[in-house]
Amino acid sequence: MNLSLFITILRGFTDTFLWYRFFAKVLGSKYSYGYIWFYLGTLLYGQLNVRLALAETSRGNLIYGCLCSLALCSLLFHGSIIKKAFFVIWLYCVLPVAFSVFFPLIYAAAVINGQNLEAAVGCASLLSSLVQYIMLEILQRKLSILRRDFMDKDAFYLMYIIIFIYAAADIMCKMFAGETSWRSDDIWRAAIPLSLIALSGLGLYVYCVLSLEYRLLDRLAKQQYQIIEQQLSAFKEQYGQLVKMRHDMKNHSLCLAKLIKDKNVDEAAHYLDQLTLGAGQEDSMIHTGSIYADALLNPKYQQAVKLGIDISIQMSIPAKDKIAPVDICCLLSNALDNAIEACERGKKENGSPGWIQMKSAVHGQYWVLEITNSIVKPASIHQGKFLSSKRIQSYGVGLQNIKSVVEQYHGVLNLQNEDCFILSVMLPVPSTSKNGPSTLSE
């Protein structure tokens, strides 16, 4: 085996291994031993191109490789098609842009020294591969939040930038290599600016990925602030009720003391019964074992009751060191909001406020949440996803948020949409929660 063949085989293994690691990090693998399938798929469409000459130009190879890799990623990894397309295009365009950084300088040195130009191409190709490997290794260690789905408009905008940078670098590099009458001074004057421009483009490629993470972090931070605001509002309302109760109890105590002092025992007993009945009507607190979930669920429960919705809640929440409170609140808030909105639509259309059943428990090493609600008609489905009733051809943000949390914990999300809507979530937890269930029904 000669050296060039050995290097080609080694680069093939390295490429597929690092690409798979990167995709698994930012998308999440669907299957065990996914690398084997990824390598076999890459080998298959690569050999088809070699044997059948399906794409003979550099741009043809880029388009062919992107399409085949996108199809392979759709089979092996999670995430939306736009998300997968972004990372596929990014990976395929990094290499030629990195090549444009090294090639002009190495080519200029080869022309001046009268050396073999093919060796210059091989050297630039090897260096560009090393740059790609370093970028992949750094990004796959850094990026974790991108498992969540980002906005499609952000991906489209950044894909346009990526393709534009690739096309510009490719055109300049070909124009530079196409000139055969370079003088030693002129070739360096052209090579150095061209390399610097390509290097700037490479920096923008890194920025494109980091920009998606920053945008997604900002979006998630806003969601968390909204959850915190809801919790603070609930705590404030509960505190106000306690202050009012304390003030009222002072007056009630004075009244009872007066009745007992006057020996009106029957009146005092009747008054006390009324107090107990009133307290029972006001006490609709939900206790799940999580103060965060309690603060979130109580006001939403009261909202549903005021709307006339027949709602029942039976919940136990894992400890906060098992599943982050923010993620628990994100699941419960979005799921319950969607259920209440569905019941409100039913009330507007047929006058019936509908019903909601919400329950969760820890079974073995999994926390299982199930929310069932009545519906007037099944939700629209497009490409396996439920469309939002608020916007045409748009997926509900609530379900996107729920899906993101489920994927973050490597859980399972199941949606049923027939006579009623059923949302089931199963998340792994290290051990059985000790939190007891709380049952509340209306």
CA distance 121 to 107: 7
**Alpha helix locations (H) across 262-310?**
265-282, 291-306
Domain CATH code at residue 383: 3.30.565.10
In a domain, 264, yes or no: no
pLDDT for residue 435 is more than 50: no
In a domain, 143, yes or no: yes
Residues 187 and 316 in one domain: no
Same domain, 399 and 298: yes
Give the β-pairing of 381-382 and 366-374.
Answer: unpaired
Round to the nearest angstrom and report the end-to-end CA distance of the chain: 77
Closest CA to 204 of 153, 169, 152: 169
Q: Are 157 and 212 in contact (CB under 8 A)?
A: no
The answer to whether residues 302 and 221 belong to one domain is no
In sequence order, the 6+-apart residues with CB closer than 8 A to the CB of 408 are 147, 148, 327
Q: Which of 201, 225, 249 is the last residue of a domain?
A: 225
252 within some domain: no
Most confident region among 52-61, 65-74, 136-145 by mean pLDDT: 65-74
User: For residues 23 and 5, which has the higher predicted lDDT (pLDDT)?
Assistant: 23
Q: Is the pLDDT of residue 432 over 70?
A: no
Residue 236 has pLDDT above 70, yes or no: no
Q: Which of 225, 256, 276 is where one domain is finished?
A: 225
Between 225 and 334, residue with greater pLDDT = 334
Number of H helices, E strands in the chain: 11, 8
User: Which of the pair, 414 or 4, is modelled with greater confidence?
Assistant: 414
Residues 170 and 310 in one domain: no
Separation of alpha carbons 52 and 66, rounded Å:
18
Helix (H) or strand (E) holding 190: helix 184-261
Comparing 150 with 62, the larger pLDDT belongs to: 62
User: Would strands 355-363 and 366-374 be described as parallel, antiparallel, or unpaired?
Assistant: antiparallel
In a domain, 278, yes or no: no
Residue type, 379: A
* Lowest-pLDDT range of 75-79, 167-171, 221-225: 221-225
Query: Domain for residue 350, yes or no?
Result: yes
Asked if residue 339 has pLDDT above 70, the reply is yes
If you average pLDDT over every residue of the chain, what do you get?
Answer: 79
Q: Is residue 261 included in any domain, yes or no?
A: no
Instruction: Kindly state the percentage of the chain with pLDDT values over 70.
Output: 81
Q: Are residues 213 and 293 in the same domain?
A: no
> Is 367 within 8 Å of 323 (Cβ atoms)?
yes
Q: Please, how many CA atoms are within 13 Å of residue 338, restricted to the half-sphere of its CB? A: 27
Q: How would residue 442 be classed by pLDDT, with cut points 50, 70 and 90? A: very low
SS3 percent helix, strand, coil of the chain, rounded to 5, is: 70, 10, 20
Q: Which residue range is the domain that position 387 belongs to?
A: 287-441
Give me the number of domains the chain comprises. 2
Local confidence band at 49 (pLDDT 50, 70, 90 cut-offs): confident
In a domain, 394, yes or no: yes
Hey, what's the torsion of the CAs at 269, 271, 272, 276, to 10 degrees?
A: 140
Grade residue 390 by pLDDT with cuts at 50, 70 and 90.
very low
Residues 219 and 291 in one domain: no
Compute the distance between CA of residue 260 and CA of residue 273 in angstroms, rounded to an integer: 15
Q: What integer pLDDT is reported at residue 69 of this predicted model?
A: 93
- In this predicted structure, the answer to whether residue 152 has a pLDDT above a threshold of 70 is yes
Q: What does each C-alpha distance from 405 to 63, 279, 323, 336, 364 come to in angstroms?
A: 33, 38, 10, 15, 20
Diameter of the chain measured on Cα atoms? 119
For residue 36, is pLDDT > 80?
yes
pLDDT score of 50: 82
| pLDDT of 400 over the 80 cut | no
Clarify whether residues 185 and 291 are in a common domain: no
pLDDT of residue 362: 86
pLDDT above 90 covers what percent of the chain?
17
Q: Are residues 306 and 404 in the same domain?
A: yes
Q: 89 or 139: which carries more pLDDT confidence?
A: 89
pLDDT-derived band at 78 (thresholds 50, 70, 90) equals confident
Read off the pTM.
0.60
Q: Is the domain of 220 the same as that of 301? A: no
Average pLDDT rounded to a whole number, residues 359-379 = 85
pLDDT in tens, 275-331: 665 554 444 467 787 777 887 888 888 888 888 889 888 888 887 778 887 788 888
Which residue, among 427, 440, 422, has the nearest Cα to 288 in the 3D structure?
A: 440
Residue 390's alpha-carbon distances to 23, 63, 379, 418, in angstroms, are 33, 37, 11, 20
Same domain, 173 and 320: no
User: How far, in Å, CA of 92 to CA of 62, rounded?
Assistant: 7
190 and 292 part of one domain: no
Token code pair at residue 213: 């993470």
184-261 and 152-178 helices, crossing angle to 10°:
170
From 194, 225, 256, give the residue that closes a domain.
225
Rounded to 10 degrees, what is the CA torsion of 358, 363, 367, 371? -20
Strand (E) or helix (H) holding 155: helix 152-178
Give the closest residue to 328 by CA, choosing from 285, 295, 372: 295
| pLDDT at residue 391, as a whole number | 42
225: which 2 tokens? Answer: 């602030």
- Whether residue 198 is found in the same domain as residue 332: no
The reported pLDDT for the residue numbered 176 is: 87
* Residue 78: C-alpha distances to residues 23, 84, 391 (Å): 9, 8, 25
Instruction: Say yes or no to pLDDT of 147 above 80.
Output: no
Band of pLDDT at residue 370, cut at 50, 70 and 90: very high
